[in-house]
Amino acid sequence: MYSRANRSEAGPGMYVKRHAVVKDGKRYVYLRLVEAYRNERGTVAHRVLRTLGREDQLKASGQLEQLAASFARLDPPPIGTRRHVGPLLLVAHYLARLGLVKLIDTAAPMRGRAMLTHGEVIGALVANRLAGPAPLYDVAGWASSAAVAELFGVPAGLLNDDRLGRALDALAPVAERVRGEVALAAASACRADLSRLHLDLTAVRFTGGYTDSALVQKGWAADRTIARQVKTLQAATPDGVAVYYRPHPGARSELPCFTAALEQLAAIAPPDVVVVADSGMGYLGTLCDADTAKLRFVVPLRADTGWAARFRADVDGGIDALPNLDHCARRERRLLPAQRTRYRGLLRNFEATHPDTDTRHRLRVAYIWSSEEAASVAAGRERALATAEAGLTRIRNGLGGRYYKTRKQVDDRVAKLIGPRIADLITVTTATRGAKPTITWHRNHHTIAAAAELDGLYAIATNLPDPPHTELTATDLLDIYKDQWIVEQRHRDLKQTLHVRPVFLHNDDRIHALIAVIGIALLIYGLIEADLRRALGPDTPLPAILPEHRDAVPTARAVLTTFAGLHATYTTTGLVLDRLTPTQRLILAHLDIPLPWPETRPATTTSDQEHP
């Protein structure tokens, strides 16, 4: 350990020196405060001012951390030192608005004396995730070059691995409480609208050995493969603010994750909150429970709820009888009307019975048909049939060979090849002729035609009441459900922009706490985007926010990138910020973020001097 206090490169000063002593065969290290000075002859000499104590005892008592913090805070960098500010200017503003440090310190107070509270450490980790997203490695190295000490009052030298680990350990037991309080702070201090929440589940994959982990487990991923993962559930507002982000064991199914989230959201959201989710929540039992709890929802029903049979019975004429709906997806607004997806739909009453309690609930269902979905389903079915027929052809060509000598070998391979999705669409017949297996197949065109009758049709269930002075329509439900892309976009931001992976942790509590930290970072990420778009106005572009100075509706990713090159420099008069670009200045003005330090003065030209 070596630290200088108020010392120029060539002049005298004080520093801490490690001094080793061997006593009774054991080696001890003492820390001494040493002063360098010039004697009468002008040469540099050293003298011990005080022995601070034994290094191991100072570390165990926490006094070593206090000493390090004292030197870090008292020793300003040399003149000319530059600090990377970047997006930290925005992050510090939103951390203060949320009151995150105080909130965490209240939930996880420190025991004993320390120079950094858990809230300060967690705040620094949130800033790291937004300003320098990378694995939880060498955070102190990042903080030493960034303006962390200047903006957050957190010396970089104190953000060592041990201190980060202790902060995560302290956060883990209170993570759920912190999640709820941060969501409420976002609503009260940052105007996040919790009246409608979009829920979605994703998986964060892990590599390495997690044999004893109850959180990192093997489970089905979105690409229909089994992988070691942690499932995470997110709840986002319609303007893209992820107010809730929670991990679940990787092997857990969707239903328990949604059930646990609904219980927590019911405690923090307003009484009339509307929950929007995908079909993972579309079980009749789950929807009946939500209806009993007076929780409003807009959720597509699963196929096994029997909604298709209800549609055939309730709607004469089938899909052709559905009226057209006036809905245009955001991504298709620039297309010609003939190129856009066509929608048809109808709202019908839907009486649901709870499978366990037999209680009846009066819901409503919007039967929605989409031309894009119809084409996708038909193409998928044809691909599945073509793949199966190609596999059957390979089996036929190999009959009597080393892999298909017996009928049982053929039947085993056919069972793996023909999945439940197409089992009714194709008939395969195997037999034995002259000690050699045979195989034939044909498509069931009648069954295929029957299945194609409902291509592109899905059912969206709800218990929403009619709006004041009007009636709820199928278009209303479709508009609400189609905003589900917002939470899916936040999943992509989580994995691509905030770099949630890889995670170099093997302790479940710390993984749980780190995901809570990333969730807070994702919330701030969404607040930046939502506040800036609200200040500009709906679909209003921000000048020169994209590369090559192109205008665009701002995204949080583009905003963070805009500030990437911003630095501050130590001068004789204090810190001075680089000259802001017009786009940076406009963003700060719209977000009402004041500058913590003055800007560098523009260069004065000869013309300016002659014409003041």
What is the tens place of the pLDDT at every residue in 49-67? Answer: 878 888 888 777 666 666 6
Q: Specify whether the backbone of 564 is left (phi greater than 0), alpha (psi in -120 to 50) or beta.
A: alpha
Q: What's the confidence (pLDDT) of residue 14?
A: 67
Distance CA 528, CA 519 (A): 14
500-546, pLDDT tens digit by residue?
666 777 788 998 998 999 999 999 999 999 999 999 998 899 999 99
507 contacts 325 by C-beta, under 8 angstroms: no
What does the DSSP assignment read for 393-433?
A: HHHHHTBTSSSBSSHHHHHHHHHHHS-TTTTTTEEEEEEEE
Please state the pTM of the whole predicted model. Answer: 0.83
Q: What is the pLDDT of residue 51?
A: 84
Residue range 459-470: mean pLDDT, rounded: 94
Q: Would you say residue 121 has pLDDT above 70?
A: yes
Note the pLDDT of residue 363.
95
Can you read off the two tokens belonging to residue 550? 């192109």
Helix (H, G, I), strand (E, B) or coil at 469: coil
What percentage of the chain exceeds 90 in pLDDT? 58
Task: Give 253-294 pLDDT, tens digit per residue.
Answer: 888 888 888 888 888 888 889 999 999 899 999 999 999 988
Write down the pLDDT at residue 138: 77
CA end-to-end distance (rounded Å), the chain: 54
Q: What are phi and psi of 341, to 5 degrees?
A: -65, 135
Residue 570's alpha-carbon distances to 47, 85, 131, 396, 577, in angstroms, are 31, 13, 21, 78, 9
Q: What is the pLDDT of residue 70?
A: 59
On average, the pLDDT of the chain sits at 88
Residue 609 pLDDT > 70: no
119/121 Cα distance (integer angstroms): 5
Instruction: Evaluate if residue 608 carries a pLDDT over 80.
Output: no
What is residue 157's predicted lDDT score, i.e. its pLDDT?
81
Residue 142, SS3? helix
Q: Three-class SS of residue 75?
A: coil
DSSP assigned state of 494? I
pLDDT tens digits along 403-458: 899 999 999 999 999 988 899 999 999 999 988 999 999 999 999 999 899 999 99
User: pLDDT digit string (tens) for 222-263?
Assistant: 677 788 888 999 999 999 999 999 999 988 888 888 888 888
238 close to 294: Cβ distance less than 8 angstroms: no
Query: Which amino acid, one-letter code, is at 315?
Result: V
pLDDT tens per residue across span 189-235: 999 999 999 999 988 887 777 788 889 888 877 677 788 888 999 99
Is-contact 609 602, C-beta < 8 A?
no
- pLDDT the model gives residue 49: 80
pLDDT higher than 90, residue 381 = yes
In 3D space, the residue among 481, 583, 507 whose CA is nearest the CA of residue 161 turns out to be 507
Average pLDDT over every residue of 585-612: 78
pLDDT digits (tens, 9 = 90+) for 471-501: 999 999 999 999 999 998 888 888 877 776 6
From the list 274, 111, 109, 268, the residue with the least C-alpha distance to 177 is: 268
In the structure encoding, which two tokens stand for residue 540, read together?
A: 């209003």
Task: Quote the Cα angle for 519-132-233, to 5°.
Answer: 15
- Give per-residue pLDDT as tens, 31-54: 887 877 788 887 878 888 878 888
Distance of CA 608 to the CA centre of its chain: 50
3-state secondary structure of 54: strand
